[in-house]
Chain A
Amino acid sequence: MLIEKSKFISKTTITKNTYLIKVLSPSIARTAKPGQFCNIKVSENSFPLLRRPFSICDVDGEFIYFMFDIHGEGTRLLRDKNEGDELDIIGPLGIGFNLQWDYDTAIIIAGGLGSAPFPFLTKNIPANMEIHSFVGGRTKENVIDYKMKNVSVATDDGSNGFYGNVVEFFKSRIDEFAAKKIKVFACGPNPMLKALQNFCNEKNINCQLSVETVMACGFGICQGCPIEKYNGDGYLLVCKDGPVFDSMAVKL
């Protein structure tokens, strides 16, 4: 992990409120792993004061991609950057997805902007492995399947694909994987992750959850991003011990 003065290259609109930015950040790109994140200073002055954490969406050579929704002033400032602008980025941070384990089928489950880390993960899953991606959104406008493979869609309002949430959708399809050795990789809103965690832990399915939280420093010094341990015995830090956790490690 290091501080890199990076260069803003370009911006693409993914959905109405979701943007993808491309940044030249060679040193961070070199060591980044799927599921890790970067903490970005979105302004050159002290407003906003703190950095904003963003999941690494994809890495292509010396370039890093970040996908984000507009939530407030910080994300608005980031969206409004121009080509050539300098971005002060700390990264790569945290512990990403654990790709190890005995499995032949990778199941990716994403809710809304939870799709953000999966282009990079998809790229890094060995070619001989099957990938199934379940992508959910409130409506068809919120479904993000950017650079994902073998995608099945669920929407809360039924406007596209399965009518219902993405975890229910996955559960309804679980029998298809009865003969497979699966490993689940998931990211999305907390209630979604919690429902998935309950299901996977009950069925003894190996599952990795990428969680989101408010952060200040992003590398463990402020202690501001605790998540309760699964056994209730204290806390882990999302920034340093995560943001990806085994579903048996944390309480959501």
Chain B
Amino acid sequence: MSKVDLRIKIGSLELKNPVLLASGTVGYGNEIANFTDLSKIGGIVTKSLSLKPRPGNPPQRITETPSGMLNAIGLANVGVEEFVKSKIPFLKEVNSTLICNIAASSVEEYVECTKILTSEESIKAFEINVSCPNVKEGGLEFGNDLKAVGRITAETKKVTSKPIFIKLSPNVARISEFAKVVLSEGGDAVSAINTLVGTSFNIWTKKPKIRNITGGLSGPAIRPVALAKVLEISRNCPIPIIGIGGILTWQDAIEFMIVGASAFQIGTANFINPNSGLDILKGIEEFCIQTNVTKISDLTATYQI
């Protein structure tokens, strides 16, 4: 038995620990399960699902940048129907908490996806992606619009009793305004942040390195931005925050909790060390023992400013 109480609560969702694996960096769990014990992870957030399958963008989809990477996958996914049929059975067996990420190109599609998936008992919460920078319709268009974010929160809440998390874009002037809208429309938490829009060009061919021209920047390069956004939300809005952005080590994870996160997600790090979630879990537990923290949730928003 762990000496530290690692359990956390976000709305009505209870997690055995604050380590979540971020959407788009664990697929549907089956590949990464070769390298890590998913049953010990707090939860996994599935690759964004849309109502119908999406083939994703043509290559090249990714490129490495200083301390980060750009991606424009284009929400490649199997669609809700196939997910229920072929992916849920594996995810059930994993015995981790399953959070389903939904991406859509209209409010109606968000609602429809949520409605279909809410009857799946193994799905414990929804993360609504209103901030994908890499698709033509929806995505950032919603993420930049306070009214749209409010409407999506309210409408999806109507069709499910499970917690709704809204994944926010950092590509806005005041992220805390979006968090306030989510809270007032009944959202249970915000996930912050999604990737930052970026690009990179080949100087010899003068062409963009990724076909989509721009992509989402992730990895340690965005960590200071993510921390600032989490802190801004934490200081301005009393909504639970799931911190995301370039976490590679347990120290990074602790930093997110200190600036206001109740839980956090590991993203790009999974591509480098598919066991990093458990490595980080071990690190934060030792940190708590060392600093006499008996309940990990006590760490949240303990910043001294």
Contacts and interface: CB of A to CB of B under 8 A. Distances in A.
A161 interface: no
Contacts of B59: 213, 225-228, 235
A47 B67 contact: yes
Interface string B7-34: 0000000000000000011110001101
Interface residues of A, number: 29
A3 interface: yes
A222 interface: yes
Contacts of A2: 34-35
Name which of A222, A226, A234 has the most chain B CB atoms within 10 A of its CB. A222
Contacts of B248: 46
Nearest to B75: A223
Contact of B272 (A41, A220, A240): A41
Nearest to B57: A226
B55 A234 contact: yes
B62 A216 contact: yes
A222 B35 CA distance: 15
Contact of A226 (B35, B58, B69, B273): B58
Interface string B266-290: 0010111111000000000000000
B63 A49 contact: no
B71 interface: yes
Contacts of B240: none
Interface in A201-227: 213-217, 219-227
A1 B61 CA distance: 24
A50 B63 CA distance: 10
A221 B34 contact: no
Nearest to A218: B271
B75 to A, nearest CB: 9
Interface string B107-133: 000000000000000000000000000
B25 A222 contact: yes
A216 B58 contact: no
B112 to A, nearest CB: 23
B62 A222 contact: yes
Contact of A216 (B32, B69, B220, B275): B69
A250 to B, nearest CB: 11
Given A46-B220, A49-B272, A217-B270, A224 B67 contact: no
A154 to B, nearest CB: 27
Given A221-B26, A221-B31, A51 B272 contact: yes
B69 A235 contact: no
B55 A235 contact: yes
A224 B71 contact: yes
A234 B31 CA distance: 20
A30 B63 CA distance: 32
B67 A46 contact: yes
A48 interface: yes
A87 to B, nearest CB: 14
Contacts of A222: 24-25, 62, 71, 73, 271
Contacts of B73: 222-224
Nearest to A48: B64
Given A223-B56, A235-B55, A217 B271 contact: yes
A224 B272 CA distance: 13
Contacts of A46: 67, 220, 248
A220 B273 CA distance: 14
Contacts of B219: 49
A209 B56 CA distance: 24
A228 B31 CA distance: 21
Given A50-B272, A215-B62, A221-B26, 18 more contacts: A41-B272, A48-B64, A49-B64, A49-B67, A49-B220, A50-B69, A214-B60, A216-B69, A217-B274, A219-B32, A220-B31, A221-B27, A223-B24, A223-B73, A225-B62, A226-B59, A228-B58, A234-B55
15 contacts: A2-B35, A46-B67, A48-B64, A49-B272, A90-B35, A217-B274, A221-B31, A221-B271, A222-B24, A222-B73, A226-B57, A226-B59, A228-B59, A235-B59, A235-B76
